[in-house]
Amino acid sequence: MSKNQFYAIIVAGGSGKRMNSSTPKQFLLLKGKPILMLSIEKFYQSKYQPKIIVVLAEQEQQTWQELVKEYHFNIPHEVINGGIERFHSVKNALNKITDEQSIIAIHDAVRPLVSFKTIDTCFEKALSEGNAIAATPSKDSVRVQEGSKNKAIARNQVYLVQTPQVFQYQQLKKAYQQNFESFFTDDASVVERVGFAIHLCDGDEFNFKITFPEDIILAEAILNKQAHE
């Protein structure tokens, strides 16, 4: 395939607050299985078969180990401690990777509906372009707030960013030597800050982040439909 080593960092630091649940989102069940397991499976079964690093808050790791046993989950993966912010969680995971030829995907644990096509295409583009960010064009009209006013902007200039976000090792290593900034809402914003151009890659409309209770219902419906296609 290539001389490069592939990795997937799956960031699972979310809480269940907006779900009205005491259970962290990544442990909620979807099609009878914890969401985090579905996300790990997607990367494990993808073309590039990356080594998988799961970032979890230290206090949630015992629960995860119990779930692994309960569901007889045997996909190889390494669990490391999360940080205060997503930025710090990703940085902790990067410290585990030393291969300078590696290509690294970073993915939200609560995007379990990501397609194999999106994963594979992002890895392929990052190999050639340095990075690849899954994104979809906006289907809605868009307005930007500026102080007390707002204005319309061209919809065809707006993309909705998803994960995976995939990078060559050297870009991430340089980017994550920076100090944390509050506008670092994803990995692309961190990498862009040190001067690398960001390359968008086709995401898919079902690759949404499970955040609210109704998202579980929608995800179940999509998986049921896919199973019968």
Question: Is 225 or 210 the better-scoring residue by pLDDT?
Answer: 210
User: 90-128: per-residue pLDDT in tens?
Assistant: 999 999 999 999 999 999 999 999 999 999 999 999 999
Q: Under 8 Å CB-to-CB from 44, ≥6 apart: which residues? A: 52, 75
Q: What is the pLDDT of residue 226?
A: 83
Residue 229 has pLDDT above 80, yes or no: no
What does the alpha-carbon distance between residue 43 and residue 112 come to, in Å, rounded to a whole number?
10
Query: Which DSSP category does 50 fall into?
Result: -
What's the pLDDT band for 15 if we cut at 50, 70, 90?
Answer: very low
What's the Cα-to-Cα distance from 188 to each of 121, 132, 178, rounded to whole Å? 17, 9, 13
Q: Under 8 Å CB-to-CB from 70, ≥6 apart: which residues? A: none
Question: What is the third-level CATH fold of 6-227?
Answer: Spore Coat Polysaccharide Biosynthesis Protein SpsA; Chain A (3.90.550)
Q: Under 8 Å CB-to-CB from 61, ≥6 apart: which residues? A: 79, 81
Q: What is the pLDDT of residue 1?
A: 46
Q: What is the pLDDT of residue 17?
A: 46
User: 131-164: per-residue pLDDT in tens?
Assistant: 999 999 999 999 999 999 999 999 999 999 999 9
User: 18-61: per-residue pLDDT in tens?
Assistant: 445 578 899 999 999 999 999 999 999 999 999 999 999 999 99
